[in-house]
Amino acid sequence: MILNHRIKKFYNFHVSRMRMMKIKVLFTRKYFLFLVFILFFALSILPHLGVKYNTIKKQSVIHEIGYCYTVTFPLQIFTRGDTSDTPDVSDLRLFEDGKEIGIPHSIHDDIRTKGGGRYSHWWKSLYFSASDNSDPGANSKVYHTRYMRVIPLWLRVVSIIFVIYSLVTFVHLYAPSIKSFAINTLVNTIRLIFSAPFRKFIINTLVNLLLLCVSITFCLVMAEMLLRVFKPVEFRVRGNAINLNSLKNMKTIIENTKLKKLDKVITVTTNSVGLRGEDPPYPFEAYLTIIAVGGSTTECGYLSNGKDWPLALGEKLKKSFRRVWMNNAGLNGHSTFGHMYLVRDYISFIHPKIILFMVGINDSHGLDIYNNYDKGIIDIVNEARRNQFLGKPPFSVKTFLVKLKTGGFSNYAAEYSDLVSFLLTINRSYRARKGGLGHIEVDFIKLPHLEVDEQARQALLDEHREKYVKLYKTRLEALLDLTQSFGIEPVLITSTALWGYGRDDITGQDIGTWQYDTIYNYGLLWDKLELYNDITRQVGAEKGLCVIDLAHEMPKSSAYYYDAIHFTNLGADKCAEIISQLLTPYLQKKYPGYAK
């Protein structure tokens, strides 16, 4: 009896255990099928699978030609490389020691001959170069890639089919319950919609929204019309587009009461192409045509025509050359980013023989770091090159989409709306003044002095070396390549300022310790500016261009400046004299037919 009882107990235990295992297996199957459904549903609706980082192994790097090295990606399910049909589809980005480098989608010949961190993700391979043109397979730097994991079309189609099949099966199994629930929900919704209180609420809400929309639209239209009629501000920049057409043949008289070092009455005029200087001569090709491009230090907006350094330079060059035409295209606040737009959208159509670029000072303020605008410019330049290589028009609908994406809707709308452009101009003026780029005369005698700690000084300079200087080099190279692609010869001029070291001959004070703000003194600002000037010198030497080192030639004297960076009449004339002395030998050699 005892034995039979134990056998029965053992049997019942194992039978119950097997039943539990069966239930568990069934539950596990349903859970697994549910997870599969969720997975395929996600694959059918998600735009991508997130960002992926891959470290490039040194042993996988293969030298191709020149500065170009390649790495092959054997398994590429979730990323796409460029092809001849889609030359810019890849979103892969290359990093060197944690910092993004180079220009993506570069032409392979440029990677081989120029290097400088350029790269191209082509099919299953990455063609790239080191930022210093060293061997990335042997140097001490770490390279990794970042790309967005894209869901392939075939996998998305399979997922959609599976999801549809699962939903159809579910509806087929539970159709009666679903049908009853749907009918009841529909009936109750219809009753609610056609009830009198709900109809009244909807009508009142729609009427109020319509009145609000009409009022806002009316106010915006009236503001737009007023700005178009009265034009309180002429827009030289509309969004991200240069607009000099509205400035053609204009004369501006400024009654100066604040800048004591300048003329009391300042007269600024523009010619038939919207620039300062004489109208383009005829025949244009027969003249030595030069345009100066830069920021406010080139524009000299508070100096009368002929006293700004570009036009003063033109008069000095006429003593050594025949048929000289010089214009001033400086624009207040512009950096290398804005210069690209100016050259591409405007100066390329005038097509002078030479462009003088005074660059660096506005880039050194960190206002134009590698943001969407700069990325958009570089993408547009790369697209123009690719289209030229493929025999297509240089700019297309792709350019429009890049401009809309990178510049934002507000910048795109500003190209067509005076109201939006006016608001953006106010915002940019505020940011420029906040960044210390306004025009306010400085009393150098009363300037306080500031000693900057050496550790803080090095930290600020290192920040610019790591974040901004390399990106400035990328923009400057793109600007010069763009200029040369139009058959125009670029000449570089290093930026100068009163910032620096030594004793001012007017006040007798130490320039280097003059306080600029709570962080910078004039000495530290000069050291920062020289980081960018060094890049200007380096890029000019690499490309075999004429570089006028105004930064080292211009004397440090407060007589030449009414603030830290802007010239007085005397300073602009001194600047023109130095540039004329250094530019004349180059022009005599390059264009001997114009020499007297």
Q: Using one digit for the tens of pLDDT, what is the confidence trace for 345-354?
A: 889 889 999 9
Mean pLDDT, residues 140-151: 83
Q: pLDDT tens digit string along 114-138?
A: 888 889 988 888 999 988 888 998 8
Answer whether residue 248 shows pLDDT above 90.
no
Task: Please state, in angstroms and rounded to a whole number, the distance separating the CA atoms of residues 96 and 571.
Answer: 43
Instruction: For 256-308, write each residue's pLDDT tens digit.
Output: 888 888 888 888 888 888 899 999 998 999 999 999 999 889 999 889 888 99
Q: What distance in Å separates the CA atoms of residue 473 and residue 537, rounded to the nearest whole number?
A: 11
The fourth-level CATH superfamily of domain 237-594 is: SGNH hydrolase (3.40.50.1110)
The pLDDT tens digits for 46-72 are 766 777 788 888 888 999 888 899 998
Q: Which pTM value belongs to this model?
A: 0.58
Closest by Cα among 297, 301, 274 to 356: 297
Report the alpha-carbon distance of residue 446 to residue 493 in Å, rounded. Answer: 31
Element housing 93 (H / E): strand 93-96
- pLDDT tens-digit map of 1-26: 444 555 555 445 454 555 444 444 44
- Could you tell me the residue ranges of all domains in the chain? 51-151, 237-594
The DSSP letter of residue 510 is B
Q: CA 474, CA 285: separation in Å to the nearest integer?
A: 32
Read off the pLDDT band of 541 (50, 70, 90).
very high
| Residues 542, 536: Cα–Cα separation, whole Å | 10
> Among 448, 382, 341, which residue's Cα sits nearest to residue 121?
382
CA 321 from chain centre, in angstroms, equals 39
**pLDDT at 175 > cutoff 70:** no
pLDDT in tens, 430-485: 555 554 445 678 888 988 998 888 887 888 888 888 878 888 898 899 899 999 99
Cα 469 to Cα 532: distance, rounded to the nearest angstrom: 6
